[in-house]
Amino acid sequence: MNNLDLIVSHPWLVAICLNSFLLLIGLISLKKLLTVMGYLHAWFLGVIVWGCLQWPGYLVVMFYFLAGSAITRVGMAEKMAAGIAEKREGKRGPENVWGSALIATMCAIASVIFPEYRSLFLIGYVASFATKLSDTCASEIGKVYGKRTFLITTFQPVPRGTEGAVSLEGTLAGIIASVVIAILAWSINMIDGVAIVICILAAFIATNLESVIGATLQEKFNWLTNEIVNIINTLIGALFAIICTYLYLTSFSG
């Protein structure tokens, strides 16, 4: 066995080599999507994901990252002028990396520690990213293209970018995003057809609950930052998908 065969046969070695290469590309690229520390934390995240789930799990997280970064930059000049753009012109730092991916990472690790429940944790993994991409698209598209934005708790008109605000355009964009990432996961055999529907429903419910949290609690508690809300948001999506799948499976097996 030569050195290349040795590396390919060990997923953790592949994970380290691949993510180190991508880290180098990211650091020297002119158009940076992350801060320097963001890239370092993303390296650690990527190693864990590939080591636990290999290329299918890595494809899902990379799709989320690239799609989410692209959506964040839609209408950036307009959002900056209105003071509702993401900080650092959309470049993610460590807090954004883990706010978005902590729950998915925990699902990836759990799928290895508890192999008998691997299918449940894979659905939780996909649902968490479907939820986060749905939330990102709903928020960013709503800020730019939302013709009328309403506070989710009262349905009173509010300015774009208000915490807890929703719009028809943003909501539709969020649904489409969750559909795309769920179908991607299905196409590479991470989840089955029933799980597509569960992940889409989980993302829709979690994204709207995140808006409720933003409208009712976020301004009352200083510790409830956007990153903490993102963790709560993805946790809701993952738990909903896992519980629904478990109930679905047990109802048929019983």
Mean pLDDT in residue range 49-59: 97
> Mean of the pLDDT values across residues 143-170?
88
pLDDT tens per residue across span 98-137: 999 999 999 999 999 999 999 999 999 999 999 999 999 9
Q: 80 pLDDT band (50/70/90 cuts)?
A: confident
Residue 77 has pLDDT above 90, yes or no: no
Distance CA 164, CA 147 (A): 16
**Residue given tokens 């994901």 in the structure block:** 49
Q: Quick one: pLDDT at residue 85?
A: 61
pLDDT of residue 120: 97
What is the pLDDT of the chain when averaged over all its residues? 90
Give the pLDDT confidence of 183-214 residue by residue, as tens digits. 999 999 999 999 999 999 999 999 999 999 98
pLDDT at position 6: 47
Range with the poorest average pLDDT among 52-61, 181-190, 212-221: 212-221
Q: Is pLDDT larger for residue 105 or for residue 163?
A: 105
Q: Does position 28 have pLDDT exceeding 80, yes or no?
A: yes
Q: pLDDT band for position 163 (50/70/90)?
A: confident
Residue 10 is predicted with a pLDDT of: 86
Please report the pLDDT score of residue 236 as a whole number: 97
Residue 164, phi-psi category: left (phi > 0), alpha (psi -120 to 50), beta (remainder) = left
User: Which of the pair, 33 or 204, is modelled with greater confidence?
Assistant: 204
DSSP conformation letters of the chain: --HHHHHHT-HHHHHHHHHHHHHHHHHH-SS-SB-HHHHHHHHHHHHHHHHHHHHHHHHHHHHHHHHHHHHHTTTHHHHHHHT-SPGGGG-B-HHHHHHHHHHHHHHHHHHHH-GGGHHHHHHHHHHHHHHHHHHHHHHHHHHHH-SSEEETTT--B--TT-TTEEEHHHHHHHHHHHHHHHHHHHHTTSS-HHHHHHHHHHHHHHHHHHHHHHHHTTTT-TT--HHHHHHHHHHHHHHHHHHHHHHHHHHHH-
Predicted local distance difference test score (pLDDT) of residue 5? 53
Model confidence at 253, pLDDT cuts 50, 70, 90, reads low
